[in-house]
């Protein structure tokens, strides 16, 4: 897959960059010339990226604010940090629900708030991409908290678009299907789990990390200069049904 983007002289923060989709986004941005600030919890994994490393637990609001305060004004932000705790709808726990909402929605809003404030003060027409999920658009068994958190993230995206557009900021979200990171490849290796999910995707396969990362780079680029406030499914047609 070949796609060429030029982010030379662009400072871009990627959260959740220690692993998975966030790591692939950081890698693609680095390869495209961006000055990347990679935020995550695994210091060694961040160091291996060869960019600016910000090791912090994104759920720790005070520690997160301290890290964000020290950043220069940025040109772009990718909110990719996320977690899931699976529980049936008839047995949700306050602890699991709050943890998922705090990371997937509250922390993403907090990061964007602090980053956008500096963009506006520096008169930078910044670009923000929130990594949501197909789970914001459809019901998935045992994913009540996760679905709710990603639906909240899409709503957050629309509010940010509406409030910050007057300053030239663009805010969008992407909504991937199952993406075959190393962890997901193991989790979806059981045919009993994998095959019904694949059958629901018109293209008949799960996404590769680069197939999510490159649409994110597109939304960060000038090629998407009139796109703001959208939630873009990257799901092989899953949510079309």
Q: Which residues does the annotation mark as catalytic? A: 146, 150
In the sheet that holds 35-40, the strands lie side by side as 52-55, 35-40, 11-15, 76-79, 127-131, 170-176, 231-234
Name 52's bridge partners.
Answer: 37
The three-point CA angle 9-209-152 to 5° equals: 85
- DSSP string covering 203-226, please? T-SPBPHHHHHHHHHHHHSGGGTT
* Angstrom distance (rounded) from CA 176 to CA 29: 18
């Amino acid at each position: 897959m070949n796609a060429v983007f030029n982010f030379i002289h662009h400072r871009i923060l990627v959260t959740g960059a220690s692993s998975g989709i966030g790591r692939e986004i950081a890698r693609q941005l680095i390869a495209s010339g961006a000055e990347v600030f990679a935020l995550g919890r695994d210091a060694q994994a961040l160091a291996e990226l060869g960019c600016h490393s910000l090791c912090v637990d994104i759920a720790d609001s005070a520690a997160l604010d301290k890290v964000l305060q020290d950043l220069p004004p940025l040109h772009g932000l990718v909110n990719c940090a996320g977690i899931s705790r699976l529980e049936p709808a008839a047995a949700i726990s306050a602890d699991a629900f709050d943890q998922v909402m705090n990371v997937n929605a509250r922390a993403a809003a907090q990061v964007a708030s602090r980053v956008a404030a500096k963009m506006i003060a520096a008169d930078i027409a910044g670009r923000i991409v929130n990594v949501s999920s197909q789970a914001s658009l459809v019901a998935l068994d045992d994913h009540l908290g996760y679905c709710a958190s990603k639906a909240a993230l899409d709503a957050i995206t629309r509010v940010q678009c509406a409030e910050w557009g007057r300053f030239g900021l663009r805010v969008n979200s992407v909504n991937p299907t199952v993406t075959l990171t190393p962890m997901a490849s193991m989790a979806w290796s059981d045919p009993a789990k994998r095959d019904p999910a694949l059958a629901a995707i018109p293209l008949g396969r799960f996404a590769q990390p680069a197939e999510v990362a490159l649409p994110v780079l597109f939304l960060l680029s000038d090629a998407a200069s009139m796109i703001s406030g959208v939630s873009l499914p990257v799901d092989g047609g899953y949510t079309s049904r």
